[in-house]
Amino acid sequence: MSYSMNLRLSLASLALIASSSFAVAQTQEGAFLNSPQETSSELKYGIEALTTWRSEYVYRGFELAENSMEFQIAGQVALNNRDTIDVGLFYGTAASDGDFTEAAAFIDFSRNIGDLTYASTLTLRDYTNSSFKSGADVGGSVSWAFNENIDFKGSINYDTGAEGFYFEGKAGYYRQVNDDSYLTIDAGLGVVADYYDRNGIHQAFAKLAYTYNINDAVSVSPYLQMSLGIHDDAENHLLAGAYFAVSF
């Protein structure tokens, strides 16, 4: 896999997790992102604009809005063949009834060492007309590329708005369909500790996404997502959505 394709997949993955950070969603982040990159003394970078529609905005097992639209601009800089920095801005709003909005800015640092990728992230969020409170979310994660198609990831985040911790463990599967498209599947568990006064296993989740690269710069990714509430106060959710990404 070329560096340019790897960079595009990394940015798309960043947006899906923003959906992991922001709905994130969690995700489309798999072992294929850990393929070797070119070594060069020059910095490599990429920029991506992302538009997302989803029938329901579910974040970490909590429903925040129905029929939402999100817009994100993100950039990635490869400092060398193992260290990358991602930065971005995000804005989401309810597309139907309600005045829910979410604005966010984030920065991530990741280091790839063999089959392992270590990452740290800081996200600042501002909510209006939401059950969630504005604040900072700081976290770290470790991903292990089992092979070219399967990876495992564990993460821990502290959210100052929730005044609690969120833990997540998941497995990811990547399958190339042809030269222009691929499938990704994520499934895992989310655990909370004093997270909006909830404790214990909160949800089981799964996501199936199909990405089609219209050309080298434009891609579209429809997906289905499920959240199964395990905590007594958590609900079940089944939703559909789509990402439209343009890379520069």
Looking at every residue in the chain, the average pLDDT score rounds to 87
pLDDT for residue 96: 75
Range from 11-25, 117-131, 141-155 carrying the lowest mean pLDDT: 11-25
DSSP state of 182: E
Tens of pLDDT along 47-83?
999 999 999 999 999 999 989 999 999 999 999 999 9
The range of the structural domain enclosing residue 236 comes to: 3-247
pLDDT for residue 13: 43
Number of domains in the chain: 1
Place of tokens 């329901």: 56
CATH number at residue 88: 2.40.160.40
Q: What is the dihedral of CA 52, 58, 64, 68, to 10 degrees?
A: 20
The percent of residues above 70 in pLDDT, for the chain, comes to 82
CA atoms within 13 A on the CB side of 230: 13
Q: Are 163 and 194 in contact (CB under 8 A)?
A: yes
- For residues 152-175, give the mean pLDDT: 98
Q: Kindly report the pTM of this predicted structure.
A: 0.83
Residue 220 tokens, joined: 């579209």
Q: Are 167 and 138 in contact (CB under 8 A)?
A: no
